[in-house]
Structure 1
Amino acid sequence: MILGGFLFISVSVGGIFAWIVSKLFQQTTQGLSLLCGGFLVGLLALDIIPTALQMYQMFGILLGALIGYLLFQVLHGFTHPATAQTPSLYLLTIALLLHTIPLSITIGNALSDSTFGITLTTSTILHHVPEGFALTAALLSQGKHLWSLLLVFMSLSMCFTLFIWIGHYINLTNHAQSILLGISISLLAATSLSEFILQHRQALPRVSFLSYILMGYLLSTLFHFFMR
Structure 2
Amino acid sequence: MILGGFLFFSVSIGGAIAWIFSKLFQHTTQGLSLLCGGFLVGILVLDIIPSSFQIYQSFGIILGIFIGYFIFQLLDTLFHASHTQNPSVSLLTLAMIIHTIPISLTVGNLLGNAALSISLTASIILHHVPEGFALSTALISQGEKLWRLFIYFFIFSIFFSIFIWFGQYWSLPEKAQGVLMGISIGLIATASISEFILHQLQKVSFKSFFIYLFLGYFLSYIFHILVE
TM-score bracket relative to the smaller structure = over 0.9
RMSD: 1.5
Q: Which range is displaced more, 3-12 or 100-109?
A: 100-109
The alpha-carbon deviation at position 119 of structure 1 amounts to 3.1
CA gap of 1:139–1:199, structure 2 versus 1, over 3 A, is same
Unaligned 5+ segments in structure 2 are none
Aligned ranges 1:83-102 → 2 under 5 Å = 86=86, 88-102=88-102
Q: Which whole-Å CA distance do the structure 1 matches of 2:126 and 2:94 have between them?
A: 20
Q: Which whole-Å CA distance do the structure 1 matches of 2:168 and 2:120 have between them?
A: 14
Amino acid at match of 2:50: P
Aligned ranges 1:53-202 → 2 under 5 Å = 53-81=53-81, 86=86, 88-202=88-202
Amino acid at match of 1:49: I
Please say if residues 87 and 142 of structure 1, whose CA atoms lie closer than 8 Å, have aligned partners that are also in contact: no
Identity of aligned residues (%): 57
- Report what 2:48 is aligned to: 48
TM-score (norm 1): 0.95
Please say if residues 42 and 220 of structure 2, whose CA atoms lie closer than 8 Å, have aligned partners that are also in contact: yes
Q: Which whole-Å CA distance do the structure 2 matches of 1:102 and 1:113 have between them?
A: 18
Please say if residues 79 and 86 of structure 2, whose CA atoms lie closer than 8 Å, have aligned partners that are also in contact: no
The alpha-carbon deviation at position 142 of structure 1 amounts to 1.0
CA gap of 1:172–1:83, structure 2 versus 1, over 3 A, is closer
- Report what 1:206 is aligned to: 206
Amino acid at match of 1:141: S
Aligned ranges 1:28-47 → 2 under 5 Å = 28-47=28-47
- Report what 2:223 is aligned to: 223
Q: Which whole-Å CA distance do the structure 1 matches of 2:70 and 2:120 have between them?
A: 32
Q: Which range is displaced more, 92-101 or 55-64?
A: 55-64
Q: Which whole-Å CA distance do the structure 2 matches of 1:135 and 1:36 have between them?
A: 8
Amino acid at match of 2:192: S
CA gap of 1:84–1:204, structure 2 versus 1, over 3 A, is farther
Please say if residues 80 and 88 of structure 1, whose CA atoms lie closer than 8 Å, have aligned partners that are also in contact: no
Unaligned 5+ segments in structure 1 are none
CA gap of 1:37–1:149, structure 2 versus 1, over 3 A, is same
Amino acid at match of 2:176: A
Q: Which range is displaced more, 146-155 or 36-45?
A: 146-155
Please say if residues 107 and 120 of structure 1, whose CA atoms lie closer than 8 Å, have aligned partners that are also in contact: no
Q: Which whole-Å CA distance do the structure 1 matches of 2:209 and 2:123 have between them?
A: 33
Please say if residues 64 and 182 of structure 1, whose CA atoms lie closer than 8 Å, have aligned partners that are also in contact: yes
Q: Which whole-Å CA distance do the structure 2 matches of 1:209 and 1:196 have between them?
A: 11
Deviations 1:103-135 (A, max 9, x none): 111111122322434333221110000111011
Amino acid at match of 1:126: L
Q: Which whole-Å CA distance do the structure 2 matches of 1:85 and 1:4 have between them?
A: 29
Number of residue pairs matched by the alignment: 228
Q: Secondary structure at the match of 2:202?
A: coil
Deviations 1:79-101 (A, max 9, x none): 33486785621010000000000
Amino acid at match of 2:58: M
